Amino acid sequence: MGTGLFCVQLIILLTLDRVPLKCCRMDIFSEKIILTVSRLTALLRGTLEENFQQVWVEGEVSNLSHPSSGHIYFTLKDAGAQLRCVMFKGAAKNLKFRLTDGMGMITRGHISLYDQRGEYQLICEYLEPAGVGALQMAFIQLKDKLAREGLFADTHKRAMPRFPRRVGVITSPTGAAIHDILNILKRRFASLEILIYPVRVQGEGASQEIARAIDDMNELKEVEVLIVGRGGGSLEDLCPFNEETVARAVYRSRIPIISAVGHETDWSICDFTADMRAPTPSAAAEMVIASSDELRGQVASLIHRMRMGMENRLAALYGRLEALFRSLHDPRTTLEHLAQRMDDLIGRLDIALLSSVRRRRECFNRFHRAMLYLNPADRIENLSQRTCLLSVKIERLLMQRIDGLKQEFSDNAARLEVLSPLKTLARGYAIATCIDSGKVITDAGKLTAGEQLSIKLWRGAARCRVEKLDIPDSPSINFKISLADK
């Protein structure tokens, strides 16, 4: 409620002089005027846009959003307040750097009000980092990005050819840089061929021309090294060489590239990506190839060193030849010494052969005697005799063992005969078995009158029926049975 009253008062105070609302302070407070939300919001937006057409605001970026529409939405804040901001697609495409949360920014724009949410916002037309220029911030961000991707790695750098036959130059055809490069190359090596690819080195579209020129040179394959650069200038003038398109064209080039952008203190993204960096275009021309006078001096020095080396080598060989000649003796003397040595070796060979034959004969005799001692026939006869003796001994032992087993069997049979139940039955005993259960009866108390029994005798068996039970207290049992059918 307080905010709405403040807004109404603000409208009144801002419109007293111009009276755009067709009413005055007395009318609002004296009469009951009812406004729709849309009408009130439109009045507020009109007042804000009329009185804050261009403002500069500094703050810290937060709540950054990049929707697919291409617009940029964010909030500028400081210790005491925050302000919603929007930069539309038309202005956003001119940004030279990437906006991120937490960056301190200075922005220029106008105040408006967003009807749907009833919030005032700043329509940004220009952005620059606080404390550093936009181009410098874009340079730092792109340098960090490409360094993380490895475009500046030394492993990607190509070696420069020692003696190129044709050099390509990509630069402006009207600048001072091309004249310096041509003068130095002609002075240092007049026979060197130079292929110039004219491009714009500043202004809109210059970076695309430079990148296309690098790609075209690689397609032509007519040069062995490329010089890409321009003379000195401001950071805005060197901007095309700080573009990502140029850096990636330099990185994918198969031809070694020397970057010669600006003066010695100027550094560009192209310098970091190139295979070699020259402080100036003139220095790049000097780095391409050595001076012909220097090369001639080097060749003359090498020829002199080669001549001295050959002379020293020949002198050493002559000295060695003379030493060998002095050490050479009469061939006849050498042959006599060799003949004498041969006779000595032949004598030593005869002695060695006789000694070897004698040793081998003795060894043969020793083996012969051993073979006679180990005659197989004698060995077989001895084994046969031993086999006969063992057979007799085994037969005797087997007979003794059989006799012992027979005696043991007879003894066991006699013991079994004594313990046989048939012997007991032969003395008049019998075995009573229940016919129904097949159990042997040992206790008369377990019988009932009329129960059928089978009586096993020493000879044969009888079947009977229990008629009377006599169960005394003592273990002996007397009962009367009647014979039934056998």
Residues 366-393: pLDDT tens digits?
A: 888 887 777 777 778 888 888 999 999 9
pLDDT single digits (tens) 71-123: 899 988 887 788 899 999 888 888 877 888 777 788 889 888 887 887 888 88
Taking residues 458-465, what's their average pLDDT? 85
Cα separation of 482 and 484, whole Å? 6
pLDDT at 85: 93
Q: pLDDT over 70 for what percent of the chain?
A: 87
Q: pLDDT over 90 for what percent of the chain?
A: 9
pLDDT at 291: 61
Rounded to 5 degrees, φ, ψ at 226 are -120, 140
pLDDT single digits (tens) 269-326: 888 888 888 888 888 888 887 666 677 777 888 888 898 889 899 989 888 888 887 7
pLDDT at 474: 55
Taking residues 53-57, what's their average pLDDT? 85
CB atoms closer than 10 angstroms to residue 121: 18
Cα separation of 57 and 122, whole Å? 9
Taking residues 38-51, what's their average pLDDT? 78
Q: Could you tell me which of 303, 197, 205, 214 has the C-alpha nearest to residue 254?
A: 214
Largest pairwise CA distance in the chain: 160
Q: What is the CATH number of domain 35-131?
A: 2.40.50.140
Burial profile 70-107: b = 16 or more Cβ within 10 angstroms, e = fewer: eebebbbeeeeeebbbbbeeebbeebbbebeeebebbb
Angle 367-370-376 from CA coordinates, rounded to 5°? 120
Contact 482, 467 (CB under 8 A): yes
pLDDT at 29: 47
Domain boundaries, the chain: 35-131, 150-290, 292-343, 425-483
pLDDT single digits (tens) 328-338: 767 777 787 88
pLDDT at 434: 87
pLDDT at 124: 92
pLDDT at 482: 47
pLDDT at 245: 87
Taking residues 125-138, what's their average pLDDT? 70
Average pLDDT of the chain to the nearest whole number: 79
Q: Which two tokens stand for residue 249?
A: 């064209």
pLDDT at 135: 64
**Contacts for 158 with CB less than 8 Å, ≥ 6 apart:** 256, 275
Does the domain at residues 150-290 carry the CATH identifier 3.40.50.10550?
A: yes
Cα separation of 68 and 94, whole Å? 17
Cα 156 vs. chain centroid, distance in angstroms? 21
pLDDT at 262 over 70: yes
> Can you tell me whether residue 225 is helix, strand or coil?
strand
What residues form DSSP beta bridges with 99? none
DSSP state of 306: H
pLDDT band at 133 (very low <50, low <70, confident <90, very high): low
Q: Tell me which of 107-121, 147-161, 369-383, 465-479 is least confident.
A: 465-479
Taking residues 185-204, what's their average pLDDT? 83
Would you say the pTM of this structure is higher than 0.75?
no
pLDDT at 443 over 60: yes
Taking residues 10-14, what's their average pLDDT? 38
pLDDT at 17: 38
DSSP state of 446: G
> Can you tell me whether residue 119 is helix, strand or coil?
strand
pLDDT at 394: 92
pLDDT at 446: 79
Cα separation of 261 and 239, whole Å? 10
Contact 141, 97 (CB under 8 A): yes
pLDDT at 407 over 70: yes
pLDDT at 400: 92
